[in-house]
Amino acid sequence: MSASQTSDVPTLLVKIFGKDRPGITAGLFDTLAAYSVDVVDIEQVVTRGRIVLCALVTQPAGAAEGELRATVHSWAESLRLQAEILSGTGDNRPRGSGRSHVTVLGHPLTAESTAAIAARITSTGGNIDRIFRLAKYPVTAVEFAVSGVETGQLRTALATEAAQIGVDVAVVSAGLHRRAQRLVVMDVDSTLIQDEVIELFAAHAGCEAEVAEVTERAMRGELDFEQSLHARVSLLAGLDASVVDKVRAEVRLTPGARTLIRTLKSLGYQVGVVSGGFTQVTDDLQERLGLDFASANTLEIVDGKLTGRVTGEIVDRAGKARLLRRFAAEAGVPLDQTVAIGDGANDLDMLNAAGLGVAFNAKPVVREAAHTAVNVPFLDAVLYLLGITREEVEAAGLS
C-alpha cells in the first residue's frame, strides 16, 4: 500500500517498551497477524538493553479494534513489557525537499553540543526525521536524517555552529549515491602519516634547522610551494641513497590509517594518495597498504647519491587537484563521488574539487574552506562521515 493510499486510512500506532529479549518483534507481529492488519511502518531501537518498538498498522474492521488492543496489552504484560496504542489517520507526513545526512562526531559528544546542533537544524527550517548512532568509540558518532532545507544552506549553518562548540559535523546530500562506489584520495604528510617526510630526510642530512627556516618562509608567503620544495630539497644534495630505507622505516602511520584503508577497500572503494613529498616513500606506502593510486615528487638519485633536485611533474597545490581528477577518471568515478582528505593549504584545491573535502586536524584556513573538518586524532573517524558504522568497520577487520 503506497503512502498516498494510506493518507486518509485509519491507523493504529502500537508502541512497546521494556527490557529487550529475543522474540519480541516476532511476538508482536504474530499477535497482530490474528487481526489481518497491514503494516504501514516499523521502527525499533534498543538502547542499553531497553527496547522501543513502534508498529504503525491499519485499523481492523468493526469491533476487532477493541479486541486487538486487549490482546496486545495482555501479550505485553505476559513479557513484563509496556504497551501503548494510539488511534490516528494515515502515515507520517511526507518528508520535505532537501534531504541530507548530518554526521556529528564528538570526543566526547556532550548534551550541550547535541542541543546546539539540533537547534541550528531547526533554525534553518530543517526537520530531524531520524537519529542513528554510527559509533561509540574511539569517538561518538551520530547521524541525523534531515529534510526541509537544502544541503548547502544546512552545511553552511552547521559549519559555523560546529566551530563554535568544538564538534565535527559533516553534511552530505541523501540518496543512493552516498553508498555508491567511491574514490578516496588523501594527502600523506601529517594526514596518512604523522611525519613530514622532508624533515625526516633533513634529520639524516643534519640540516633540520635550515629546512625548518625555508618552511617558515613558505608559511609566511615569501615562497610558493614549488620554490620552497626546490630550496629544501637542495639541502639534501650529497646524501647517500641508503637513507631512503631508513626514512621508510621511520615513517609513522596516523592512528586509524590502516583501519580506514582496510574498511574502504573491503566495501569496494578505491583509495589513493597524493603528496608534496616523495615517491621514494609513497611507493612503499602504496605497496604496504594496498593503495590503488599514488603520486608524489621524485628525489633525483645519481650514482647512489641524492642530487638535491626533483624530477618529473611537480605535485603542488594545483597538481593535487589535477591528480584527483586523473585518478577519478581512471577509476571511473564521477568527481562528485570523490572524497579528499588533507591538512594543509596546498590541499585546498583538491578538497574543494572533491565531492566531499575533509580537513583532517588542519590549519584554521583549511578548516574554514573545507566542506567538513575532523579534529580528533583518528583517521578512521572519516569513515563515519561516509555513513559507515563501527560494526561495518569491525566486520572489515575480521574479513
Residues serving a catalytic function are 187, 189
What is the residue type of 289? L
Question: Are the C-beta atoms of residues 170 and 139 closer than 8 Å to each other?
Answer: no
Q: What are the grid coordinates assigned to 121, written together?
A: 537544524
Query: Could you give the CA distance from residue 313 to residue 329 in angstroms, rounded to a whole number?
Result: 19
Instruction: Give the Cα separation of 137 and 277 in Å (integer).
Output: 32
Nearest Cα neighbor of 86 from 98, 74, 100, 72 is 72
Give the Cα-Cα-Cα angle 2, 177, 179 (nearest 5 degrees).
Answer: 95
> Which secondary structure element, helix H or strand E, spans residue 165, and what is its range?
helix 151-165
Residue type, 205: A
Phi, psi of 304 (to 5 degrees): 75, 15
In angstroms, what CA-CA distances link 277 with 164, 232, 310, 346? 34, 11, 10, 12
Q: Please state, in angstroms and rounded to a whole number, the distance separating the CA atoms of residues 51 and 46.
A: 4
**181 DSSP β-pair partners:** none
Burial of 314 (0-12, 13-18, 19+ CB in 10 A): middle
CA of residue 58 relative to chain centroid, distance = 39
Distance CA 252, CA 379 (A): 13
